[in-house]
Structures are given as structure tokens and as C-alpha cells.
Chain A
Amino acid sequence: MTLAVVLESDTTAALVDPQARRARFWSPRRVATPIVVAVVLLALYLWVANMTLDSIMQRTLNWDYILLRTREHLVLTFVASALVAVLAIPAGIVASRTRSRVLRGAILTIANIGQATPAIGFIILLAIIWQIGFQTALIALVAYSFLPVLRNTMVGLSQIDAHVTESARGMGMTPNQVLLRIELPLAVPVILAGLRTSLVFCVGVATVATFINAGGLGDMIVNGLKLQRFPVLIAGAVIVSCIALLIDWLASIAEDVLRPKGV
């Protein structure tokens, strides 16, 4: 008698509305970013195209030069970010796993120094004691953008509900299985947010690569300044800003797509 009554009172679960999810994906900011970037770049193009360029400006404000510098800039950014991902995520795992406070402290201190040191100072010092060029710029970029990924990996792992890992262990997963099947997938959103920050850092800081002859859009900015050709300076600055915005935009989409379902 009581049994039947109790059995009937089932609580229904709240379902996640797929429409609401789509609305969250196409937020106003997500739609606006590419439009703003396109409008700004178009305005820049029209402005430069309607300007009489002297020979100095012509040497810089042409498609070949701009595309070459942009490519250098992007290669630097992406290679550095990939290295950060490969190095900082494992470092974050080690730092959050280790019981040794000394090791954790050391990893965090090094990453902190990397970010606290002004990138331009570091890159030039490194060039003096080692060499100029791409590799040096790469190391400086990696050092500078290491911390966000490291820290987010540690935070991402530490914020996982301890009961989830306990039940994983209780079901007989080895520590490695717990890490790979449970902890890392659940930390993905936080780690990706760190990578996104690193990418944007890299786009900005890659402009100083020009000082050690490693190319990039910093060339345009510095040339424009040194030669007092403001259209060149402005074009360089605007393009770098647009790249930063676009990369941030792409990273935000990647975050949404790669976030594990159900989280």
C-alpha cells in the first residue's frame, strides 16, 4: 500500500534545453568579434589604398611584405603556444601530484619569474648571451606565456570533486587511468582557458621578436616608428590587434567544442 504510493512519486529531472545551449554558443560577443575585425581591416585597407604612398611606405605597405610578416608572426605564436601546451600541462600535472612542496614551489617560481620578467628585457638578454633569431624569440615567448597554462592545469585538476576521483579509485582504476579518463577530461575547460590566455599573450609579445631579427609584425611597428611613417605603424598595430582578437575568438569556439559533454 505505502509502496505503491512511494513508487509513483518520481521526481523528473531538469533537462538542458538544446535551444538554450545554442543561444549560449552564439552569444552577441561571439557574433560581433569577426564583424568588428572585418570592418576594421576593411577601413584600414580603404584608408591605405586612398593614400599616396612614398617609396619608404611602399616598401612596407604591400601584400607580399604584410603577408610574410603576418606568417612569421603566426608561426612564432603557434609554435610557442604548442610548446607551452606540451611543457606546461605535464608540469602542471607534476606540480599538482607531487607531495614535495619544494618541487611544486620550484615549478611555480620558475613560471612566475618567466612571466614577471619583462619580455623585451628577457629576449634581448637571451640574444646577447646566446644568439639572435627565431629560436631565441621562441624561448622568450614560451617563458612568458608558460604560467597561465601551468596554473590553469593545477587549478583544473584541483577543482575536481574529490568524490568523483574517489569513486574512480573505488572502481579499480589505476592512478594513471584516473588521471587520463577522469581528471584530465574534466580539467579540459580550465586548461583550455589557460591556453587561450597564453595564445593571446604570444600574439602581443611576438612583436618584440623584431628586436632580435626574428621577424613578425613588430617589424612594421618599429619601422613605422623609426622612419616616422605613421600609416606603417598604424597598419602594423591594427593587424596585430586584429590577429589577437581573431585568435581569442577561435580559441573561445575551441573551448566550447572541446568541453566534454555533460559538463
Chain B
Amino acid sequence: MTDATTDTGSNRMLGGTATEKTIHTTTSITTVRNTSGAHIELRDVNKVYADQSVAAVENFSMNVEPGELIMFVGPSGCGKTTTMKMINRIIEPTSGTITIDGRDVLSLNPNELRRHIGYVIQQIGLFPHMSIAENIAVVPKLLGWSKEKTRNRVDELLSVVQLDPREFADRYPKQLSGGQQQRVGVARALAADPPVMLMDEPFGATDPITREKLQLEFLRLQESIGKTIIFVTHDFDEAVRLGDRIAVLSEKSKIEQFDTPENILASPANAYVASFIGRGAALKRLGLITVGDAELGRASDARGDASVDEGDSLRDALDLLMLTGLPAIAVTATGGRTVASISVAQVSAALGAGAAALDAPAAGERS
């Protein structure tokens, strides 16, 4: 099936520099890591509300590479949401420039601009009087897509977010659970295949189990669609789990540190960032390193029946080591064959090696 998204490139206002095409089928998305996202640059962006003397956002500058998933983390009221909303001009910046793929956002028609930027908010904001299919079709309709193209796209997107189109297309939002509604929210934002997505605590209102599930699905989705995403959250663990890079923000949206989750965990730039990471930074880092990346022992050292997969995180390995009390457990490759073993010392060494390797460039960047 040739698909609705493949020909959106021509009428796309933003993100014309896509180097690889996303290929969707109705059942799955098959793509290599692509960059259908756009490059975003914010320069000296300020926001001062008329009735307030202090700025909500002060001199915010940031460069986001195409296809990057950037997390804005910070306490409530630090201006992270305001900063994000200036990108699609839901909030107009007071000064500064914002460009998407080199085009000045402030010079574009705001409504036209927003049709090419996916937007997901915590409260989802599905239109209660429209069916799920109609909700997803809103932006395609605004863009004047044909009925057939829109319908195909709706079915495809529902499948992408793991909702059966036959079952869900004609339902109304209130007939869906919170998690299902949130998925529809993501599908709706993806409808016109926008190169940029803005997400404001999209999983904030869901229970922990649903949230973890949505996060995993979302990561898989992003791996295949490669949008440039600005994702606002106050949950540092969520930021670590999802982000390519994390911007830790304080008052007035000041960037305290902007780096990969690994680097931030290994070497927080200052006390503020450290306090935001909280306790257990080493454990959080273990969650980001896979067993295969660690220095492993011989397969013959493994004791007991417990085993971890090469693709599992070191955190899983440590968990199992603690649980079993064994000196070393087996590491299996795909297929279940034992290829190596791992011990607590090796887990610990991976952390140290990682820290040492990351320290040099991180320190250089900061000075």
C-alpha cells in the first residue's frame, strides 16, 4: 500500500529537509533511524507578561538537531511550558528569534504554522463531540486533504498507536480509558506527519502502569518516525528514560545543564542539577547502559539458573544479582545461548568506565 504520508513532503511547510522517508504500513512502521524531523533554533528568546515585572523566560537559547527528543525538566512555574509554547506561538515571545529549518517562526501565519507542528498536552484536549476518527482528521481536514487520504491516514495512525481502527474509529473520547485517550492525542498530533512535535507532560495524568506502557510505546514510535520533539516534564526519571538530551531548567527557564541523560547523571553541572537528579544517580545510570556494553566475564563463571539478556540494562542485571545473591550470573545472546557472565564488580566497573569516558568532554564543555 502506498501511504498517505509519503506525499506530504511536497505540501509540507516545515521540515523540507527530510533525508529519509518514513514508510508506514497499516500494521507496523518499518524504517531505519531516520530524520524526518526539523532543526529548531531558539535565540535569546524572552517572555515578559504585561502584568508582571519579572520575565517568565529570559534569554533562552537552544539548538535542537533534527530527530532529537529533547526533554525540558524543571520545577512547576520555571517557564519550561512557556518556552515550549512559544515555538508554536500559543504564547507569543516578547523578543528573540525562533527558527524551524531556518524559517523564522514569527514571520509565519501562526495558524498555518501550528498545522505543521504536532501538539499534545497533558489534559489531551480531545474534542468530546467528535469521534476518534474525526478528532484525528482535524488537521488533515484543515490542510484540505481528500476524504480517502484522510481516512487511510486515520486508520494507519490508530494502528500505529495500537488501537484497532475498526473498534475505535467511531467511538467518542469519553468511551475510552485515559491511556487510550492519550494515544489518540498522540495519533492526532501526528496526523499530518509534522516534522516537529511539542508535548507538554503528555503522560502526566495517567497511572504509573499506563504511563510506563505509554512511554515504552512512545520510545518505539519515535525510533521509527524520528520527529524533532520538545517534551516537557517535571519527572526526571521520565526525562532519563525518554530523552536524547535533557535540559534541566530553573527559574525564568534558565538552562542549568543541557546534555545527554548519561552525562547529566554522571556529572551534574551544579548543585541545582544534582538536587534535581535526587538520590540514586548511579542506579539511574545503570538503567541506561545495556549489559552488552559492559566488560563481561567468562561464560563459565556464571552460577545458578538466572540470566540476563545482552540487551537488558545493567540495572536489571544488578537487580538479579542482588535477588539471587550469586557472585555472577549468565548473560545470554538472542536465542538464549549463554555467551558471558556478569558480576557486581563488573556492573560497578561499567559505571566507572562510563564516568571516566564521559568526564573529559563534559568538563571541557562546561569550562
Q: Check B180 for interface membership: any CB of A closer than 8 A.
A: yes
Contact size range, B: 35 or more
- B212 and A13: CB pair below 8 A? no
User: Which residues does chain B contribute within 8 Å of A6, judged by CB atoms?
Assistant: 209, 212-213, 216
A133 and B41 CA atoms in complex are apart in Å by: 70
Q: Check A117 for interface membership: any CB of B closer than 8 A.
A: no
> Binary interface profile of A, 29-54, with partner B (CB < 8 Å = 1, else 0)?
00000000000000000000000000
- A12 and B128: CB pair below 8 A? no
User: Which residues does chain B contribute within 8 Å of A166, judged by CB atoms?
Assistant: 90, 121, 125
A177 and B110 CA atoms in complex are apart in Å by: 14
Quick one: given A171-B119, A171-B139, are A9 and B88 in contact (CB under 8 Å)?
Answer: no
Q: Check B112 for interface membership: any CB of A closer than 8 A.
A: yes
User: Which residues does chain B contribute within 8 Å of A263, judged by CB atoms?
Assistant: 128-129
User: Which residues does chain B contribute within 8 Å of A9, judged by CB atoms?
Assistant: 209, 213
Q: In the complex, which residue of chain A has the Cβ closest to the Cβ of B114?
A: A172
User: Which residues does chain A contribute within 8 Å of B210, judged by CB atoms?
Assistant: 11
- B179 and A167: CB pair below 8 A? no
The residue that B175 contacts in the complex, of A13, A177, A182, with Cβ under 8 A, is A13
Q: Check A245 for interface membership: any CB of B closer than 8 A.
A: no
| Residue picked from B115, B180, B213, B312, most chain A C-beta under 10 Å | B213
Q: Check A20 for interface membership: any CB of B closer than 8 A.
A: no
Q: Check B111 for interface membership: any CB of A closer than 8 A.
A: yes
A136 and B166 CA atoms in complex are apart in Å by: 57
The A33-88 residues at the B interface (CB cut-off 8 A) are: none
- B139 and A172: CB pair below 8 A? yes
The residue that A164 contacts in the complex, of B114, B125, B174, with Cβ under 8 A, is B125
- B177 and A12: CB pair below 8 A? yes
Q: In the complex, which residue of chain A has the Cβ closest to the Cβ of B173?
A: A262
Quick one: given A11-B210, A171-B139, A171-B142, are A3 and B129 in contact (CB under 8 Å)?
Answer: no
Q: Which residues of B contact A (CB under 8 A)?
A: 88, 90, 111-116, 119, 121, 123-131, 138-139, 142, 172-180, 188, 198, 209-210, 212-213, 216, 312, 316
Some 30 contacts from A to B, beta carbons below 8 A apart, are A1-B312, A1-B316, A6-B213, A7-B216, A11-B178, A13-B175, A15-B175, A16-B174, A16-B175, A161-B123, A163-B121, A163-B125, A164-B125, A164-B126, A164-B127, A166-B125, A167-B124, A168-B127, A169-B114, A170-B121, A170-B125, A170-B198, A171-B115, A172-B115, A172-B142, A173-B111, A174-B111, A186-B129, A260-B129, A262-B131
